[in-house]
Amino acid sequence: MKNIDHSAVRIRDGFWKQKQELVRNVTAKAVYDRFSDTGRFAALKCSWKPGDEPEPHIFWDSDVAKWLEGVAYLLQEAPAPELYSLARAAIDDILSSQEADTGYYNCYYLTHPDAPRLTQRGNHELYCLGHLIEGAVAWYAATGERDFMDAMAKYADYVEKCFKTERTAGFVTPGHPELELALVRLANATGERRYMELAKFFIDEHGVDKREGFGALCDWANDIYNMDEKPLRERDTIDGHSVRAFYLLSAVADIAAEYDDGELAAAARRCFDNAAFKRMYITGGFGSSHIGEAFTGDHDLPNRTAYTETCASIAMAFFARRMQKLETDSAFADAIERVLYNGALSGLSLDGRAFFYENPLEIDPDFNHVEPATKIPPHYPITQRLEVFGCSCCPPNVVRLLPAVGDYLYGLDGDTVYVHQYADSEAAFDGVSITQTTRYPADGAVKIRVFGAKKLALRIPGWCESFTLSVPYTMYRGYAVADVTDGAEIELLLAMPVVTMAAHTRVHADAGRIAVMRGPVVYCMEGVDNGKELFSLKLAADAVFEEEDSSVCFAENAPLLPVLKTTVTRRSAPDALYSPARAVVSEDVPARFIPYFAFANRGETEMQVWVLEK
């Protein structure tokens, strides 16, 4: 299947249009301002000297590069003169500082000449290059200006020489995967096959050379952390650092498709299944441990200590989109949808200025502020979003995700157009034009017109228990496939009641608890609406919900989705650490649920996704 690029898609109205305009009008500049305040843009000039503050960091280039990529996507949609000027200035600083003979660029290493290059696998040089390549390819596509891409191609040539041709580098494969998938993009943009071969080289070598470990952890932990304990073709599970794992698997899927490598494709599918069906939070979050920002084991999904980095959810979307090229299965689009509406979007505040690095499913501000007796930095998530982080990878990742959300809507396989995601949009590609008219996910009604296709395949989401389609269809791997004639309007209605959800019995953190979903959107409770001690409330599995306009909870920046009103049971007991169960008193009280992605926008307050079942 061919994935349709966002450049061929225009989001016209509704939910995602609102979010894209937020990034254009607020978020992109807000991230730029904070990156300027913290020295990231000044560092691109490579003029730092010992004693200056702040000192460049080894991964700062990647933060800026992701921001550049996001700006490029905004420019593809419509002119943005201020953003263009800021981005062009940053690119010029990179090009003027790049090493002339080798093409090498890194704002840390070029200002620390005694630090040996390409010898420390964990120092993010190749990770930064990967993001610089992605930003450069996107810039070329948006503006036609090729100098940035040519400069990064020269750096890639140097990497090819050091790692593949001469093998003079101090390690074999990138410590933080990202360069692999970026090389695929560079090969496709330039037509230079060597970059595809280099990406394949890194995939083939990964997990083979046992000298790859780095850092203070034991060899076993290093191997698991980097998915290095075995060759990628032998993998059955997704492990280690969650963002690294998904970036690496994105490249695995790319190479499997490019080389028709069934063995790699099968390994990618096994890892996807493990992630989606045994290690994914209901919110589309990934990585249950703060130790290594990592996966742990199947069904180990704690709520309060969930790490669930915003970048991990975004990276899963990248991986699942690539899996769509390898085989037809609505499971990939289902995972993307869960991520987009929940685990990735929760990383951005409703006003577009602040972010979460971690996205827990439960917050108690008092508990989260407890400093562990060990004096290890607190691993419970912060309770309010921040505008910038010391490791600020997530904000620019949001900046590049939302303008490119059109990437996820459509696919083409022969004469069949696939609709993977629903959004009010229009697209034109390969002689096909298609329009969607819908308020999704506010409701499940979708009207579609298509020209230039013989068949239309509409994904029936995994959450949807009943639907109607205005034309005859057959089901194929989660898609309703119908014959179509040019210009005929097809109507799809996805039933979207509020549903209470239960977790697998092995998810011990959710035993005796239920969650609330409406369509693809997970809901949560906050103390600001429901008072303190949310964690003693009980909700009936058959509770009746009323829908209310979200303005009842949000005075500004209200989501284009309803909030939900129902009745829960509140328990109260004597003010003692322990008391007889017969002393507990229960009463029914009104309660409200809001979309999960909107939590922590109204001050510090308790929050929970999983509620005790009555």
- Tell me the catalytic residues: 293, 393
Give every strand in the sheet of 479-483, ordered side by side. Answer: 2-3, 410-413, 416-419, 455-459, 479-483, 474-476
Report how far residue 278's alpha carbon sits from residue 299's, in angstroms, rounded to the nearest whole number.
Answer: 5
Q: In DSSP terms, which residues pair with 187 in a beta bridge?
A: none
CA atoms within 13 A on the CB side of 597: 29
Report how far residue 24's alpha carbon sits from residue 15's, in angstroms, rounded to the nearest whole number.
Answer: 15
DSSP state of 116: P
Report how far residue 389's alpha carbon sits from residue 606's, in angstroms, rounded to the nearest whole number.
Answer: 23
CB 192 within 8 A of CB 186: yes
CB 402 within 8 A of CB 346: no
CB 240 within 8 A of CB 294: yes
Which residue type is seen at 211?
A: R
CB 99 within 8 A of CB 46: no
Q: Residue holding tokens 């076993």? A: 220
- Ordered DSSP codes for 274-306: HHHHHS--TTS----BTGGGB--STT---STT-
Report how far residue 372's alpha carbon sits from residue 378's, in angstroms, rounded to the nearest whole number.
Answer: 6
| Three-point CA angle 30, 34, 35, nearest 5° | 115
Q: In DSSP terms, which residues pair with 363 in a beta bridge?
A: 607
Burial class (CB in 10 A: 0-12, 13-18, 19+), 84: middle
Rg for the chain, CA atoms, rounded: 24
* CA nearest to 180, candidates 216, 218, 127: 127
Long-range CB contacts for residues 485-488, cutoff 8 Å, separation at least 24: 486/450, 486/451, 486/452, 487/449, 487/451, 488/449
Give every strand in the sheet of 445-451, ordered side by side. Answer: 9-11, 425-429, 432-438, 445-451, 489-494, 467-469
- 557-587 as b/e: b if 16+ CB within 10 A: eebbbbbbbbebbbeeeeeeeeeeeeeeeee
Q: Is residue 494 within a helix (H) or strand (E), and if so which, with residue range?
A: strand 489-494
Report how far residue 578's alpha carbon sits from residue 12's, in angstroms, rounded to the nearest whole number.
Answer: 57
The distance in angstroms from the start CA to the end CA of the chain is: 46
Question: How far apart, in Å, are the Cα atoms of 108 and each of 37, 56, 231, 433, 486?
Answer: 18, 5, 32, 47, 56
DSSP state of 327: -
Distance of CA 21 to the CA centre of its chain: 19
Q: Which two tokens stand for residue 349?
A: 């505040």
Report how far residue 190's alpha carbon sits from residue 570's, in angstroms, rounded to the nearest whole number.
Answer: 62
Distance of CA 598 to the CA centre of its chain: 16
